Amino acid sequence: MTHDPVLCLASASPRRRDLLASIGVAVEVRPVDIDETPLSGEAADAYVVRLAREKALAGGRLSLLPALGSDTAVVCDGTILGKPAGRDQAATMLRALAGREHQVLTGVAVSGPAGLLTVCVTTRVFMRAITDAELAAYWATGEPADKAGGYAIQGLAAVFVEHIEGSHSAVVGLSLYETADLLARQGVPVWNGALPLGPMS
């Protein structure tokens, strides 16, 4: 059974689309192109929220529906780790993350009748030590090439993650608890409209 879209997703990310589908939110996908370069001296939390806001506003100009924008950053020692440029950079990133804790910050913004609502969620991720052979084998799978920080927690790299403190879905790309709250405040139904959830905060 198909459902009419109730939200504009200002992203081409299949992970964010699938996460929204998992809570029964049908979307129209309207990818937007914005400059994702961090500003000089910009903190990671400000960075992900700024990009989420810009994406939501851009999506709102393309659709009559409320629009959602989101951005996720992997942060190690205060440095934002983007997508690796190649095998060597991916290995450098994963060596920096291995055997210790790092943070994943996800900003979410929803534009709609209530204006522009935003939230930033921080999740602590603890990785085990990773051998050079594992790094080489992981790169060969192709998975880390287009992933921030050089890994995908929902994919093969799950075997490297000892545990997390916070939202698993946020590390994948969209914090569902907080997103559902923003959607409720904008009047966007979840569960395919079966139950209009009230604001959680």
Q: What are phi and psi of 30, to 5 degrees?
A: -130, 85
1 in a structural domain = no
In a domain, 96, yes or no: yes
Spatial distance between the Cα atoms of 115 and 196, rounded to a whole number of angstroms: 19
Residue 65 pLDDT more than 90? Answer: yes
Rounded Cα distance between 112 and 120, Å, is 18
Task: Tell me which H or E stretch contains 163.
Answer: strand 161-165
CATH code, domain carrying 153 = 3.90.950.10
pLDDT of 1 higher than 90: no
Selected catalytic residue, list 4, 18, 33, 71: 71
pLDDT at 197 over 90: no
Residue 201 in any domain: the answer is no
Number of domains, the chain: 1
Which domain does 48 fall in, by range?
Answer: 7-193
In tens, the pLDDT along 128-179 reads 999 999 999 999 999 999 899 999 999 999 999 999 999 999 999 999 999 9
> How much is the pLDDT for 51?
97
The answer to whether 132 is a known catalytic residue is: no
